[in-house]
Amino acid sequence: MNIKSVSLATGIPAKTIRYYEEVGLVHPAREANGYRVFSNSDLHKLAFLARARSLGFPVESCRSLLALYEDKDRASADVKALAQRHLNEIDQKLDELTTMRHTLSNLVQSCAGDDRPDCPILSDLAQKMSN
C-alpha cells in the first residue's frame, strides 16, 4: 500500500504520515524505487495514532501509548496514569477557557456594537489589573 492509499484509508494527510515516520512513530518499508510501502501493521499503528491524537494526546504520549500497546507485559496502571495526566491537563485547559469565555461573553454582551466609539471591551482592557 502506498502513502496516498494509506492517507485515504486512515484520514491522515500524507505529509503527516511522512512526519510520523520522521519522528520514528512508524517505519514503513521501501520499494526498490524508494516509495514507502505500508503493511497492515503500519496501517493499524497509524489508525491508533490518529485516534490517540484525536483525544488530544501529544505526539510524545502517543509514542508511549504505542509502546505500551505493543508491550504485552505492560501494566494497565501505566496506561491509566498516562491517560489520567492527560485528562488533568484537559481539565486545566477547560478551566482556563471557561474563565475566558465567561469574561469575554460579558464584555461582548455589554458592547453596543454600533458606529460610536464608546466600548466597554476596550475600557476593560485598558483597566490596569481590574480583576
Partner DNA sequence: ATAGGGGTTCTAGTTACTGGAAGGTCAAGG
Partner DNA sequence: CCTTGACCTTCCAGTAACTAGAACCCCTAT
Lookup: cell for 92: 486545566
Instruction: Give me the long-range contacts of 47-54 (CB less than 8 A, separation at least 24).
Output: 47/10, 49/12, 49/20, 49/25, 50/10, 50/11, 50/12
Interface residue with DNA, options 11, 27, 29, 58 (CB under 7 A): 58
* Residue 86 binding DNA, by CB under 7 A: no
Distance CA 49, CA 131 (A): 42
Q: How many residues bind DNA (CB under 7 A)?
A: 19
Q: How far is the CB of 100 from DNA (least distance, A)?
A: 13
Point out which residues bind a second copy (CB under 8 A): 44, 47-48, 51-52, 54-56, 65, 68-69, 71-77, 79-81, 83-84, 86-87, 90-91, 93-94, 96-98, 100-101, 103-105, 107-108, 111-119, 121-122, 124-130
